[in-house]
Amino acid sequence: MEGIEQSELDQIIQGCRQHRRASQHMLFVRFYNYAMTIARRYTGNLETAEEVVSDAFFKVFTKIDMYSGELPFRFWLRRILINSAIDRLRSSLNMPATAELKQWHDAEVDAGIIENMTREQIIALLDLLPPAYRAVFNLFVVDGFSHEEIAHLLAISIGASKSNLSRARQHLRTLLNNEFDFSKKI
């Protein structure tokens, strides 16, 4: 992680294992932006991302003894963040849907359009995906999980994972061609 030496991180983690509030605060501050970046991709909005980050750091602080140090800390944190976001997604999927369903079609995306997009525009575009599609898209395309792993994490079939990924890609193509306003500053 930029801006923090491994020896300093080791001291902070040791302080967290001893339940020192100052160490917990330092860890939270050092990794907050990293955590928000991951949570934001999965949640679709800032408020829910903040809740996921809070949940994840609670898990980090209560399970810090499980961190072995074999992998970099940020990889361990990333896994906790993804699992916290998926837990949030599962709980929201049990709630009745409020969004109107639309018929989507497969459309070709103009060459070079994605290369000209800002990070904020890409996040805004992903926010428009239904939560289940966004989760599978992020897990597969961004975080490199296999369909088997996604099926296990989301408690869906492998076929449903593949289908959700395909539908997410179709949604994104349609949005890129027809509905996304690139002139809008985000």
CATH of the domain at 68: 1.10.1740.10
18 occurs within a structural domain: yes
Last residue of a domain, one of 93, 123, 150: 93
Average pLDDT of 167-172? 90
Average pLDDT rounded to a whole number, residues 156-181:
85
What domain range is 164 assigned to? Answer: 99-186
Q: Are residues 68 and 116 in the same domain?
A: no
10-35 confidence digits (pLDDT tens): 999 999 999 999 999 999 999 999 99
Asked if the structure places residue 1 within a domain, the reply is no
Considering the domain boundaries, does residue 168 fall inside one?
yes
> Taking Cα atoms as reference points, which of 170, 88, 91, 104 lies closest to residue 137?
170
Instruction: Tell me if 61 is assigned to some domain.
Output: yes
Residue 107: what pLDDT? Answer: 39
**For residue 98, pLDDT beyond 50:** no
Residue 150 to residue 155: CA distance in whole angstroms: 8
- Total number of domains in the chain: 2
> What percent of the chain has pLDDT above 90?
54
Q: Same domain, yes or no, for 84 and 149?
A: no
Same domain, 150 and 125: yes
State whether 103 and 183 are in the same domain. Answer: yes
| E strands present in the chain | none
pLDDT of residue 102: 39
Final residue of a structural domain among 61, 93, 125: 93
In 3-state terms, the chain is what percent helix, strand and coil (to 5)? 70, 0, 30
Q: Residue 109 — pLDDT band, cuts 50, 70, 90?
A: very low
130 or 61, which is more confident: 61
* 112 and 49 co-located in one domain: no
- Report residue 114's pLDDT band, with 50, 70 and 90 as the boundaries: low
- Whether 172 maps to a domain, the answer reads yes
Q: Judge whether residue 119 has pLDDT over 60.
A: yes
User: Which of 60-74, 83-97, 102-116, 128-142 is the least confident region?
Assistant: 102-116
Say if residue 80 is in the same domain as residue 103.
no
Computed over every residue of the chain, the mean pLDDT equals 83
Give the residue with greater pLDDT, 98 vs 126: 126
CA distance 133 to 138: 9
On whether both 38 and 104 belong to a single domain, the answer is no
- pTM here is 0.71
Q: Are residues 29 and 103 in the same domain?
A: no
Q: Is residue 30, in this structure, part of any structural domain at all? A: yes
Of 68, 93, 118, the last residue of a domain is 93
Cα(125)–Cα(41) distance, integer angstroms: 10
DSSP 8-state assignment for residue 102: -
For residue 86, name the pLDDT band (cuts at 50, 70, 90). very high
Same domain, 87 and 14: yes
- For the chain, how many helices (H) and strands (E)? 8, 0
